């Protein structure tokens, strides 16, 4: 007769390590995020440094060397991306165009976000007739095509760059206003807002500290999406000739100039197109990632 | 020890308006809360418990309804008639409230520490550093381990019980004289529930605050209450000390509620079927003139349908029933329910 005493094996470090699972991956694969971030940073960097690194003045013409191909298609090192119909350096013009377009897009998004968020916050917080008036304005603007508004405004106010920035900024503030107002109204019934009221917070304080931060997540997502759209809108306006005026260049005006040479020298159109696509895709990807990381529920 | 009155509610009436109907959520409710005591407001869902609490704080959303009559006397002032500015200096500071769903009652985008500090800085003039120090002390006080680190946690990083503790820390940060607790343990599981009740009890003993506790759970009432108010269809139908209500309930509704509690039974092991109160609560937009409990009452008589019963008080024990004497007599010895 024996008593079987089993001593349980102590768990050694090795087994412990195996038990620890790797934290699950969330969101998009990081590769897309890293590439997008690098593209956007590179674009911003190039845009900021444009005056220092352009090999030629953007208005410097040379009719003798017009429509030269890019260097990989048999061109010279002097014009790495070739020349346009007036012999101007495409590389230099592309850098400046990116600079202009990015500036307008950032300024436009900023104006839209600030105006829209404030409008939505005021509208949703006040309620009543103030809400109805603001909502009516917002709905009215949403019903009119942006390009039409922009064309009219340019026809009336001229093509000053500031006018363009304002038009683009106010072209989509209504989307922020709507989404923020919706959030504000939805939040009014939430119990943490009631709790704030119960703890003696003033309406202003509740709006700024409890309501506003809870609307950021959709605003950021919308901003990144509309950043892409604003790049396209600016390009369309400039393409139509009512946007950025010579001697300034934007990606849209480059495209506009290139449209007569689509068959003979397609690179003139391809380069600005590639830049537009890169910026818009990168912005949308980053917006998606921001949404995932800004949502406190998905934070670890 | 002579107790003095902290809060008195007189003839409170709150109506909600929806789709052209008037819902009489709170109808002629009067009661008082003594300093340092615990008053429990008991009733089914929709009996007007929470509406009463929000009416006291005058926080019924204007789009939903309003307090149409009554007084809420606190420190010589009528809370329903003071300016909003004055009201904000009382709320959170002298009267605080905690809610049923701590997950929903905490701001998801602010850390716990920020939320405690915010209340402190609203009411007490103190620096951000001092507020943070006090916030940590509060988290320690409500039994959150590793308070220093938890200060920087977001609500979703805490468990349900921890969130309710954090909520209590926020509510009590300014040492209120009255804490209104709207079903604070309903969303928690049983062990956490008793911890939270224990904590509230302890804090009450510490600070001498009064507690207005809203619940539908009679076992919670038995545990903490000094005085019990039973609400039905927006009215108080029975009021008394906790022993009076549990040992000698007069109102048929209260008797029904007490019978509907599960309990442990000795003997042959067969379990007693729970006797539910039959029927559903009445439509508060369409009340008949008689006793609102009549359709569900097994003792209902003909006159119950025509005459609204008044609140009748005997030895500090009130009941809203015309036939309570006969009913209590007929039932003989009250069942031991405690």
Q: Å from A197 to nearest chain B CA?
A: 8
pLDDT tens digits, one per residue of B266-310? 445 555 666 777 777 778 777 777 888 888 888 877 888 888 888
Interface test with B, best of A124, A200, A205, A216 (most B CBs within 10 A): A200
Q: What is the mean pLDDT of chain A?
A: 79
Q: Smallest Cβ distance to A198: which of B57, B107, B110?
A: B57
Location of structure tokens 């928690």: B188
Could you list the residue range(s) of the whole structural domain that residue B231 is in? Answer: 1-94+178-195+211-264+276-338
Same domain, B15 and B81: yes
Beta-carbon separation of A191 and B105 below 8 A = yes
Same domain, B45 and B61: yes
Q: Name the helix (H) or strand (E) containing A226.
A: helix A216-239
DSSP strand E in chain B: where?
A: 5-18, 21-34, 38-42, 65-74, 77-78, 95-98, 178-182, 210-215, 227-232, 235-241, 312-314, 317-319
pTM for the whole structure: 0.74
Q: Is the pLDDT of residue B25 over 70?
A: yes
Q: Which one, of A195, A173, A189, A180, lies nearest residue A124 by Cα? A: A180
Location of structure tokens 């609490």: B53
pLDDT in the model for residue B265: 54
Q: Is A128 on the interface with B (CB under 8 A)?
A: no
Is residue B269, in this structure, part of any structural domain at all? no
- Quote the CA–CA distance of B302 and B237 in Å, as a whole number: 19
pLDDT tens digits, one per residue of A2-13? 455 544 444 444
Q: Smallest Cβ distance to B92: which of A127, A191, A198?
A: A198
3-class state of residue B94 by DSSP: coil
Question: How many distinct structural domains can be found in chain B?
Answer: 2
Query: What domains can you pick out in chain A, each with its CATH number?
Result: 31-44+80-298 (1.10.3720.10)
Interface test with B, best of A183, A187, A192, A297 (most B CBs within 10 A): A192
CB A60 within 8 A of CB A89: yes
Q: Is A132 on the interface with B (CB under 8 A)?
A: no
Location of structure tokens 């300093």: B35
Q: Which one, of A94, A88, A92, lies nearest residue A67 by Cα? A: A88
Token representation of residue B335? 């069942």
Percent with pLDDT over 90 in chain B: 7
Beta-carbon separation of A199 and B171 below 8 A = yes
Beta-carbon separation of B105 and A194 below 8 A = yes
In B, which residues are within 8 Å of A299 by CB distance? 154, 156
Q: What is the mean pLDDT of chain B?
A: 83
pLDDT tens digits, one per residue of B195-233? 888 888 888 888 889 999 998 888 888 888 899 999 988
Q: Is A291 on the interface with B (CB under 8 A)?
A: no
3-class state of residue A132 by DSSP: helix
Cα nearest neighbour of B156 on chain A: A297
C-alpha angle with apex B163: B160 to B169, nearest 5 degrees? 150
Q: Which one, of A52, A114, A115, A61, lies nearest residue A85 by Cα? A: A61
Same domain, B10 and B76: yes
At residue A1 the predicted structure's pLDDT band, cuts being 50, 70 and 90, is very low
In A, which residues are within 8 Å of B101 by CB distance? 191
Beta-carbon separation of A199 and B92 below 8 A = yes
Is residue B72, in this structure, part of any structural domain at all? yes
Q: Å from A183 to nearest chain B CA?
A: 14
Is residue B161, in this structure, part of any structural domain at all? yes
Token representation of residue A50? 């444009």
pLDDT in the model for residue A23: 52
Weakest-pLDDT range from A71-80, A266-275, B54-63: A71-80
Beta strands at B178-182 and B95-98: parallel, antiparallel or unpaired = parallel
Same domain, B297 and B327: yes
Q: Is the pLDDT of residue B337 over 50?
A: no
Is residue B164, in this structure, part of any structural domain at all? yes
Same domain, B241 and B305: yes
- Quote the CA–CA distance of B328 and B62 in Å, as a whole number: 43
Beta-carbon separation of B91 and A202 below 8 A = no
Distances (CA, A) of A66 to A60, A70, A269, A273: 11, 12, 15, 21
Is residue B202, in this structure, part of any structural domain at all? no
Same domain, B68 and B215: yes
pLDDT in the model for residue A300: 41
- Give CB contacts under 8 A, 24+ apart, made by A154-157: A154/A237, A154/A242, A155/A242
Q: How many helices (H) does chain B have, and how many strands (E)?
A: 12, 12
Q: Is A191 on the interface with B (CB under 8 A)?
A: yes
Cα nearest neighbour of A189 on chain B: B61
Token representation of residue A293? 């990381």
The secondary structure of B27-69 as a DSSP string is: EEEEEEEETT-EEEEE--TTSSHHHHHHHHTT---TTTEEEEE
Beta-carbon separation of B105 and A210 below 8 A = no
Q: Which strands form B38-42's sheet, in the order they lie side by side? A: B95-98, B178-182, B210-215, B38-42, B227-232, B235-241, B317-319, B312-314
Q: Å from B172 to nearest chain A CA?
A: 10
Is residue B100, in this structure, part of any structural domain at all? no
Same domain, B86 and B184: yes
Token representation of residue B238? 């029975």
Q: Is A194 on the interface with B (CB under 8 A)?
A: yes
Q: Is the pLDDT of residue B5 over 90?
A: no
Q: Is A220 on the interface with B (CB under 8 A)?
A: no
pLDDT in the model for residue A299: 47
- Quote the CA–CA distance of A260 and A85 in Å, as a whole number: 10
CB B24 within 8 A of CB B234: yes
Is residue B126, in this structure, part of any structural domain at all? yes
Same domain, B186 and B68: yes
Q: How many helices (H) does chain A have, and how many strands (E)?
A: 12, 0
Counted across chains A and B, CB pairs separated by less than 8 A come out at: 75
The CATH number of residue B242's host domain is 3.40.50.300
3-class state of residue B4 by DSSP: coil
Beta-carbon separation of B154 and A190 below 8 A = no
Beta-carbon separation of A198 and B119 below 8 A = no
Same domain, B338 and B247: yes
Beta-carbon separation of A199 and B104 below 8 A = no
Is residue B200, in this structure, part of any structural domain at all? no
Q: Is the pLDDT of residue B168 over 80?
A: yes
Token representation of residue B37? 């005591």
Cα nearest neighbour of B111 on chain A: A296
pLDDT in the model for residue A11: 43
Beta-carbon separation of A199 and B156 below 8 A = no
Same domain, B284 and B186: yes
Same domain, B224 and B334: yes
Which residues make beta-bridge pairs with B34? B5
Beta-carbon separation of A296 and B109 below 8 A = yes
In B, which residues are within 8 Å of A202 by CB distance? 88
Same domain, B241 and B259: yes
- Quote the CA–CA distance of A107 and A172 in Å, as a whole number: 13
pLDDT in the model for residue A201: 82
Weakest-pLDDT range from A25-39, B17-31, B176-190: A25-39
- Quote the CA–CA distance of B338 and B334 in Å, as a whole number: 11
């Amino acid at each position: 007769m024996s008593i079987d005493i089993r001593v349980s094996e102590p768990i050694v470090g090795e087994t412990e390590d195996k038990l620890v699972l790797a934290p699950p991956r969330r969101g998009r694969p990081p590769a897309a995020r890293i590439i997008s971030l690098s593209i956007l940073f590179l674009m911003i960097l190039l845009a900021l440094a444009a005056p220092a690194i352009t090999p030629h003045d953007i208005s410097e013409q040379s009719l003798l060397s017009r429509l030269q191909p890019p260097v990989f298609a048999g061109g010279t090192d002097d014009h790495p991306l070739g020349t346009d119909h007036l012999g101007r350096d495409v590389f230099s013009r592309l850098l400046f165009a990116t600079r202009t377009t990015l500036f307008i897009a950032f300024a436009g998004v900023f104006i839209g976000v600030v105006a829209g968020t404030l409008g939505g916050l005021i509208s949703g917080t006040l309620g009543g007739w103030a809400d109805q008036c603001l909502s009516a304005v917002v709905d009215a603007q949403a019903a009119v095509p942006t390009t039409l508004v922009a064309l009219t405004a340019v026809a009336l106010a001229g093509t000053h760059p500031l006018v363009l920035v304002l038009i683009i900024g106010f072209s989509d503030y209504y989307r922020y206003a709507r989404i923020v107002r919706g959030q504000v109204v939805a939040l009014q019934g939430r119990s943490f807002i009631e709790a704030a009221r119960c703890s003696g917070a003033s309406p202003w304080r509740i709006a700024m500290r409890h309501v506003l931060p809870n609307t950021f997540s959709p605003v950021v997502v919308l901003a990144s999406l509309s950043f892409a759209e604003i790049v396209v809108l600016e390009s369309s306006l400039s393409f139509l000739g009512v946007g950025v005026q010579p001697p300034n260049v934007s990606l849209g005006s480059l495209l506009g100039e290139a449209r007569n040479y689509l068959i003979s020298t397609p690179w003139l159109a391809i380069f600005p197109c590639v830049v537009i696509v890169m910026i818009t895709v990168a912005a949308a990807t980053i917006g998606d990632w921001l949404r995932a990381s800004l949502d406190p529920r998905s934070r670890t | 020890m002579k107790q003095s009155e902290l809060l008195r509610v007189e003839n409170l009436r709150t109506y909600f308006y929806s789709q052209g109907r008037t819902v009489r959520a709170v109808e002629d409710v009067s009661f008082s809360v003594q300093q340092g005591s615990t008053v429990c407001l008991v009733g089914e869902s929709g009996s007007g418990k929470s509406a009463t609490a929000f009416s006291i704080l005058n926080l019924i959303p204007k789009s939903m309804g309003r307090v149409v009559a009554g007084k809420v006397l606190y420190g010589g002032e009528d809370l329903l008639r003071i300016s909003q500015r004055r009201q904000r200096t009382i709320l959170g500071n002298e009267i605080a409230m905690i809610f049923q769903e701590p997950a929903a009652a905490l701001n998801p985008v602010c850390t716990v520490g920020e939320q405690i500090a915010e209340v402190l800085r609203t009411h007490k003039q103190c620096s951000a550093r001092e507020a943070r120090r006090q916030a940590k002390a509060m988290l320690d006080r409500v039994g959150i381990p590793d308070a220093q680190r938890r200060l920087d946690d977001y609500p979703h990083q805490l468990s349900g019980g921890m969130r309710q503790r954090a909520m209590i820390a926020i509510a009590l940060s300014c040492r209120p004289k009255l804490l209104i607790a709207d079903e604070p343990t309903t969303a928690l599981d049983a062990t956490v529930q008793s911890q939270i009740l224990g904590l509230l009890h302890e804090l009450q003993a510490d600070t001498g605050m009064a507690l207005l506790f809203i619940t539908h759970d009679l076992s919670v009432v038995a545990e903490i209450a000094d005085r019990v108010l039973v609400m039905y269809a927006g009215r108080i139908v029975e009021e008394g000390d906790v022993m009076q209500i549990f040992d000698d309930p007069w109102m048929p509704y209260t008797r029904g509620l007490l019978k509907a509690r599960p309990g442990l039974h000795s003997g042959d092991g067969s379990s007693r079927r729970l006797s539910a109160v039959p029927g559903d609560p009445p439509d508060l937009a369409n009340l008949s003139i008689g006793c609102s409990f009549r359709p569900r009452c097994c003792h209902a008589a003909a006159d119950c349908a025509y005459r609204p019963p008044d609140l009748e008080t005997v030895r500090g024990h009130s009941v809203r029933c015309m036939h309570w004497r006969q009913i209590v007599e007929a039932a003989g010895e009250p069942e031991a329910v405690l």
